[in-house]
């Protein structure tokens, strides 16, 4: 009888542990970026709609805003007009915007930009081999990184970002602050 009770207790503990772990939703937790404070990778990515490549960090801007997005990502749709407005406002003032299309098709990405906007101050590139996503440790989309004028990654925002937040964070970077990490909502890991 003791063996039956022991196995029953073990069974109950295993079931409770599984239920508890499921409620924690550990698979959806966005891990902290180990990149804050490190130098951005030296990568050149192909333009989406033009020939040639763009460097991840060009050394000319005092702040670089790197956004990872895809046409199938719902928060990216709300975010793109905000990033376009920020690029139009800050681009002439030394802020570079690099939009990296991730895990997408060219046609869907171009259609996305036709619908949600473009800025002449926003370089749109593709990450076909996921090298940039791997280098930045992108967990889901959208994710936006801020790089200071020396090439150091000083901040990350997981989830959609708006115009005012971009302005505030760029000003903090210009002031020499490390903005760390923030989460603004859902990120999507795949279509």
Q: Give the separation between CA 189 and CA 191, rounded to whole angstroms.
A: 7
| Digit-coded pLDDT (tens) for 105-116 | 999 999 999 999
Q: Which domain holds residue 174?
A: 33-183
pLDDT at 177: 85
Statement to judge: residues 42 and 21 lie in one domain: no
Whether residue 2 lies inside any domain: the answer is yes
pLDDT at residue 6 greater than cutoff 60: no
Whether residue 189 lies inside any domain: the answer is no
Statement to judge: residues 71 and 9 lie in one domain: no
Whether residue 17 lies inside any domain: the answer is yes
pTM of the model: 0.81
Whether residue 191 lies inside any domain: the answer is no
| Digit-coded pLDDT (tens) for 12-54 | 444 434 433 333 333 344 456 678 889 999 999 999 999 999 9
pLDDT at 167: 98
CA 189 to chain CA centroid, Å, is 11
| Digit-coded pLDDT (tens) for 71-82 | 999 999 999 999
Q: Domain holding 97: CATH number?
A: 3.40.30.10
Task: Give a three-class secondary structure readout of the chain.
Answer: CHHHHHHHHHHHHHHHHHHHHHHHCHHHCCCCCCCCCCECCCCEEEECCCCCEEECCCCCCCEEEEEEECCCCHHHHHHHHHHHHHHHHHHHHCEEEEEEECCCCHHHHHHHHHHHCCCCCEEEEECCCCHHHHHHCCCCECEEEEEECCCEEEEEEECCCCHHHHHHHHHHHHCCCCCEEEECCCCECCC
The total of structural domains in the chain comes to: 2
């Amino acid at each position: 009888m003791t063996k039956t009770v022991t196995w029953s207790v073990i069974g109950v503990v295993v079931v409770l542990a599984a239920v508890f772990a499921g409620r924690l939703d550990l698979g959806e937790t966005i891990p902290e970026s180990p990149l804050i404070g490190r130098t951005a990778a030296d990568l050149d990515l192909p333009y989406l709609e033009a020939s040639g490549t763009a460097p991840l960090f060009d050394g000319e801007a005092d702040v670089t805003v790197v956004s990872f997005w895809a046409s199938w990502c719902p928060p990216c749709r709300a975010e793109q007009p905000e990033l376009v407005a920020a690029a139009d406002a800050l681009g002439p003032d030394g802020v570079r915007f690099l939009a990296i299309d991730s895990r997408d098709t060219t046609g869907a990405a171009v259609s996305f930009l036709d619908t949600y906007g473009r800025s002449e101050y926003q370089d749109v590139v593709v990450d076909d081999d996921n090298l940039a996503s791997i280098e930045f440790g992108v967990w889901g989309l959208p994710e936006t990184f801020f790089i200071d004028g020396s090439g150091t990654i000083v901040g990350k925002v997981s989830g959609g970002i708006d115009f005012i937040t971009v302005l505030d964070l760029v000003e903090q970077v210009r002031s020499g602050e490390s903005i760390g990490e923030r989460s603004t909502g859902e990120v999507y890991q795949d279509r």
